[in-house]
Amino acid sequence: MFTKILIANRGEIACRVIRTARRMGIATVAVYSDADARSPHVTMADEAVHIGPSPAAESYLKADRIIEACKATGAQAVHPGYGFLSERASFVEALEAEGIAFIGPPASAIAAMGDKIESKKLALAAGVNVVPGFVGEITDTEHAVSIAAEIGYPVMMKASAGGGGKGMRLAWSEQDVREGFESVRREGLNSFGDDRVFIEKFIEDPRHIEIQLLGDKHGNLVHLNERECSIQRRHQKVVEEAPSPFVTPDMRRRMGEQAVALARAVGYYSAGTVELIVSGADPTGQSFYFLEMNTRLQVEHPVTEAITGIDLVEQMIRVAAGEVLPFTQAEVGLNGWAIETRVYAEDPYRGFLPSTGRLVRYNPPRAGEEHIRVDDGVREGGEVSIFYDPMIAKLITWAETREGAADLQVEALDRFEIEGPGHNIDFLSALMQHPRFRSGNLTTGFIAEEYPEGFHGAPADENRLHVIAAIVAGNACTRMAQARRTSGQLNGPPSVPSEWTVRIDGHDYEVTLGDGHAMVDQHRIEGTCDWLPGQRTASATGPGERLGLKVAREGLDWLITTHGRRHRARALPARLAPLAAWMKEKVPPDLSRLLLSPMPGLLVKLHVAQGDKVAAGQPLATVEAMKMENILRAQRNGTVKAVNAEVGASLATDAVILELE
């Protein structure tokens, strides 16, 4: 067994590998860029080596610097995590040439599966179902338009070396192909150094299901059941679970057999995943097709660990050291249900725009006996950088049933505190509560279908609003009593009103506080709440539910977040409410004539020039942020009055790109 390994990655996956290595008694070496000098993975490891500037292309993607770090520290093996160099065959070959072990599959398997075009040919030869499409290289936009027409719309354009949702565009028409093909090529080149693109039929009502594989160097290969990864946004996974609510035992067996056959055909060992697209419109479960094979550990691997009890990182290390898998296919279990949500630095209330900045407050729910697991690589006071993926953490919950795992997600998300950059915690909670999610009727279009007008918070039923009204009135009563007690005006117990008017999100509730209960609009509310003035969080119980509250103050208002929705609340004694001028909502200025950058990023393309006439919905500019290209479109018809930014410019949030007359 190795005595020291180097982790060629950063963030949560580096921390996750270090934890397992430490448990196994293996010393660890971290590598870091300028931006990560004070990151948790650096302090967790036994040693740390600086490898370059903040951009990944100048640090984490520099194979020679990783090898130099191995030599300098005496690391015998490298775990690549995911992303960066994890699926680069040349990196594996370079390590082997220096006598350093790679904790992953052989270079030949990475090369075979890393090229999506070639991998489909291999899958066909191995007897694996493959999505209809064009298996070959596409020369230019006109060629792409011709191929798409032959396949039949809708089609998916994908970067051949892509992954992680990058370098992908769905096209419903020729216009979509013309607008998106070059963006796919650029994203593939920028993210993976390869601008080749392929096109395949888009399966309608698609579900994204993947099979986890594990093999050793002695010819043993098993699958560890499936994961459902259909909840995606822009092809980036948001929610993963294991098992899938759609997959039957027979489907699981057939999918697993095909995945193992493909892996065996390329001499695979270590952990890997075969991704499948499944037609949700086919109740027989017969319509599943090979998408790609990820020759690495997946972001969502914790849900598989939760239902099987197998530490995948430990097994990867043992396989790399030459050990035999300690179990057979028949011994792979499936216990309970696990769900993972990805906490991203993005603002769902503003179209999921990427967000960066300092984590002023970071307090995740504590893992432990509740079957809650948090995988992260950040700490309070740290920076969410523009240089890397926007994922802050992964929240994993396990329960005996799917409903129980989802309920635990909601409870844990209520306790997850993040201040500073925008985050998607409210959105994740809304997903976990959504009736369609609860029913298991999932497709990769779930988010677009259920939130066509964007996200504005999870629905709040009237009972919950009554509970919040009672809590706000009770807290206002406590604050008033404290103020009178400390003012020196009273010697005895302070007298405070019991009747209050509470405004929540523009609606008034009449609240009467009693002994151990409250009357809200004539509804009796009984429960408990531990919120005290000055606290940021609280727990409360109401009729039939338990709430975790995050509380902030803004002027005279309380901002209360629970169960995926932010509520603005204010309380006044009922006798004063008719005389008070409640806050009037300000009418925002009309900015439709300005094209503003919605996030910090790089202006990579201007689609129009000064004097051009434009129509609503027409592409105006393309901004790259966090390795993704975002096409900005006109909100209305008009003429370009002025262009205020040049291609190649670095843009701040709300920077004016151009103006319309």
Alpha-carbon Rg for the chain in angstroms: 27
Selection from 232, 225, 226 nearest residue 442 by Cα: 232
Check if 93 is active-site. Answer: no
Q: Report strand pairing: 594-596 vs 656-660.
A: antiparallel
Inter-CA distances, 57 with 54, 63, 190, 331, Å:
9, 10, 10, 42
Are residues 480 and 496 in contact, defined by beta-carbon separation less than 8 angstroms? yes
Q: How many residues does the chain have?
A: 661
Q: Alpha-carbon distance 442 to 291, whole Å?
A: 18
- DSSP summary character for residue 326: S
CA angle 84, 194, 320 (to 5 degrees): 40
d(CA 305, CA 308): 5
Pairing mode of beta strands 47-52, 27-33: parallel
Question: Of these residues, 87, 292, 300, 411, which one is catalytic?
Answer: 292
Please name every residue paired with 294 in a beta bridge, in sequence order, or none if there are none: 273
Q: Percent helix, strand and coil across the chain, each rounded to 5? A: 30, 35, 40
- Residues 89 and 161: beta-carbon distance below 8 Å: no
Burial class (CB in 10 A: 0-12, 13-18, 19+), 40: buried
How far is the CA of 517 from the CAs of 329, 470, 471, 525, 541, in angstroms? 57, 9, 10, 6, 12
* CB-based contacts of 542, cutoff 8 Å, min separation 6: 463, 464, 466, 467, 525, 527
What is the β-pairing status of strands 357-358 and 650-651? Answer: unpaired
**Distance (Å, whole) CA 23 – CA 20:** 5
> What's 130's DSSP letter?
B
Which two three-digit tokens encode residue 553?
């103050």
Task: Tell me the C-alpha distance between 28 and 44, whole Å.
Answer: 9
Q: How far apart are CA 560 and CA 552, in angstroms?
A: 7
> What's the CA dihedral at 301, 304, 309, 310 to 10 degrees?
-50
123, 259 contact by CB (below 8 A): no
Q: How many CA atoms lie within 13 A of 590 on its CB side?
A: 5
Which of 606-612's residues contact partners 24+ apart within 8 Å by CB, and which partners? 606/643, 606/647, 606/657, 606/658, 608/640, 608/643, 608/658, 609/640, 609/643, 610/640, 610/641, 610/642, 610/643, 611/639, 611/640, 612/639, 612/640
Q: Is 159 left (phi over 0), alpha (psi -120 to 50) or beta?
A: beta
Contact yes or no for 308/323 (Cβ under 8 A): no
Q: Provide the annotated active-site residues.
A: 292
